[in-house]
Amino acid sequence: MTVLTLTSPDSASTARICVDRGFNCFSFKADVGEEQLVDVIDSEPGFEDGAGRVSGNGIPILFPFPNRIRGGRFWWRGQEYVLPESQVGYDNTGNAIHGFVIDRPWRVVDQGPGFVTGEFQLSVDAADRRPLWPADFVIRLRYELSGGTLRSVFQIINPDQVALPWGLGTHSYFKLPLAGTSEASRCLLTAPVTQQWSLDECLPNGEKTAIADDVCLAEGVYFGSRRFDDVFSGVPHDIVECTVIDEAAGLQVAQRNPGSFRELVIYTPPNRDAVCFEPYTCVTDAINLQQQGIDAGWQTLGPGESLTTWIDLQAGPVLA
């Protein structure tokens, strides 16, 4: 396995990326001052050597679709596409899950002090999967480390002669608590969401509702007070900020991204002190929902077009 370690040029922060397992940043230790590091990302020991699921550790990258496609089937511009379970990931209820780039090696195309850029092209890095998608694609990801912040800059490129349908998401596992002297149950989870999608076995049925009274994420919900495996919506149009606030430690981790990541999955994996804030540019099964006339956030890039976006993770003291 190829593993790269980034060192911040202006702090003691470090990040580790497993190039061969989806360019996954499986470790981010953030310098929060006073010679203290916060271990932000949760991953199984030995992940860089092949331990654990690629979707269950670190920061999995979900592209060209985040989450699920119902039954691994969809129609696009008059043609049916079938994603065989023998070639892509599936959940335990028969749905394709988490895209094509999560479990394959990427290529490192640029590297320097505090940063590294990886690239994945469908026709080059997963040629067996190229017939499964309507167009070829390139996704570039640049990790930049500075102070207590890890920035991920995504560039999506359509190198093909036909339109590229796509959706992007990440699946960061945040480790709780943020200090050894604290407890996971004292960590407050916040997210600026106002709606949630109604789900049938993890798949949206096309309806959105107001958030339930017992899920006031804008004010904060304590970890462990309820289980999460929900798809939320109604985020701000400019910047979306989700936080883990460790009250006893006086520390917080914030995830920030543009409002173009219009959906947010929150997931608390069972028997584990971790939470996932998953920003998505579209909802689960968007490629099928969109063709039913539902605004699901599904996007296309024309031939030769590109798009750039970003996600920041920042650790530091809780601001009064």
pLDDT of residue 113: 87
In angstroms, the CA 264 to CA 287 distance is 17
Q: What is the pLDDT averaged over residues 102-131?
A: 97
SS3 assignment, position 293: coil
Residue 214 pLDDT greater than 80, yes or no:
no
Q: What is the pLDDT averaged over residues 230-259?
A: 96
pLDDT of residue 1: 87
**Percentage of the chain exceeding pLDDT 70:** 100
More confident residue, 320 or 165: 165
For the record, the structure tokens of 217 come out as 């994420």
Give the 3-state secondary structure of 22-65. CCEEEEEEEECCCCCEEECECCCCCHHHCCCCHHHCCCCEEECC
Residue 213 pLDDT greater than 90, yes or no:
no
More confident residue, 26 or 320: 26
Residue 285 pLDDT greater than 80, yes or no:
yes
Asked if 17 contacts 143 with a C-beta cutoff of 8 angstroms, the reply is yes
pLDDT of residue 319: 74
Residue 35 pLDDT greater than 90, yes or no:
no
Asked if 274 contacts 267 with a C-beta cutoff of 8 angstroms, the reply is no
Q: Of 64, 60, 41, 67, nearest to 232 (Cα)?
A: 67
Question: Residue for token digits 């331990």?
Answer: 51
Asked if 83 contacts 69 with a C-beta cutoff of 8 angstroms, the reply is yes
Residue 203 pLDDT greater than 70, yes or no:
yes
Least confident of 24-28, 33-37, 128-132, 250-254: 33-37
pLDDT of residue 320: 52
Q: What is the pLDDT averaged over residues 28-42?
A: 95
pLDDT of residue 208: 94
Give the pLDDT confidence of 77-91 residue by residue, as tens digits: 999 999 999 999 999
Question: Could you write out the DSSP letters of every residue in 212-270?
Answer: PTT--TTT-EETTSS--EEEEE---SSEEEEEEEETTTTEEEEEEEETTS-EEEEE--T
Q: Facing residues of 30 across strands?
A: 38
pTM of the full predicted structure? 0.96
Q: What is the pLDDT averaged over residues 268-285?
A: 97
Q: Which CATH class is domain 3-317?
A: mainly beta
Q: What is the mean pLDDT of the chain?
A: 96
Structural domain boundaries of the chain?
Answer: 3-317
